[in-house]
Amino acid sequence: MDAAGFDVFAGVRRESDADDLRSEASERLQPLTVDVADSDSIVAAAGTVAKAVGDRGLAGLVNNAGITVQGPLEFVPIEDLRRQFEVNVVGQVATIQAFLPLLRRARGRIVNMSSIGGRVANAFLGPYQSSKFALEGLTDALRKELRPWGMHVVAIEPGSVDTRMWGKGIDSGREMIETLPHEAQERYGDQLRAVLAMAEKVAKRAIPPDRVAKVVERALTAPRPRTRYLVGPDARVQLAIGKLLPDRAADAVEARFMGL
């Protein structure tokens, strides 16, 4: 968006990330420290943006924050599940509420970074993907609520993307397997290791982040944006299988593909 000529407020959590952005962007880009799980941080960020944009308002808000919690639902710690929804769902709504007054001034748009995991669920990704299912529902509801004011709300649904989050997910998957209780190891250990091996193979075919960024730009600038954008070949394949096959047949295809 900076390259396209927009004034950009780029959310970061670490000063080192802010420095990286400054080194690669124009003077129009302003890093903004914000943590979507911290309400005071969100309010402060909205105040900073409000002072900068004034009556112009805000052309767009991209909700890109997210974390991944994974593992067999039988053994996922409830506090981890709460954290998953706090960041991926509640934090998104809190951010939208804080910035909506600025978006209304410019009849701006909201772009929520969902996932193909918000349309198709896989074994052992239940916490993460259920949060994305929730974000899909929130996106649809908000789109209908803001329609009378001509404000668009869009979901972006990538498949595997070559980002640090994907790498962190594989690393945390290894750690999760090692820290499971003995009973969970006996029941799910072999399956989890098979899924992790598949994830490492998929990571090698992940699309570059720029592919997703270009779709975000399209969602923010198209005269009539789609309500949702699928990004990446694996996302399209997963959705097609889910649409073409009955649930149990799709389950069987997934189990064979993932070595379960």
The catalytic residues are 128
What is residue 169's three-state secondary structure? helix
Let me know if 65 is exposed, middle or buried by CB neighbors in 10 A (0-12, 13-18, 19+).
middle
DSSP label at 206?
P
Tokens linked to 14: 């670490």
**CA dihedral of residues 67, 71, 74, 79 (deg, nearest 10):** -30
Spatial CB neighbours of 130, under 8 Å, sequence gap ≥ 6: 121
Give me the phi and psi of 223, to 5 degrees please: -55, -35
Quote the CA–CA distance of 198 and 234 in Å, as a whole number. 13
Taking the alpha carbons at both ends of the chain, their separation in whole angstroms is 42
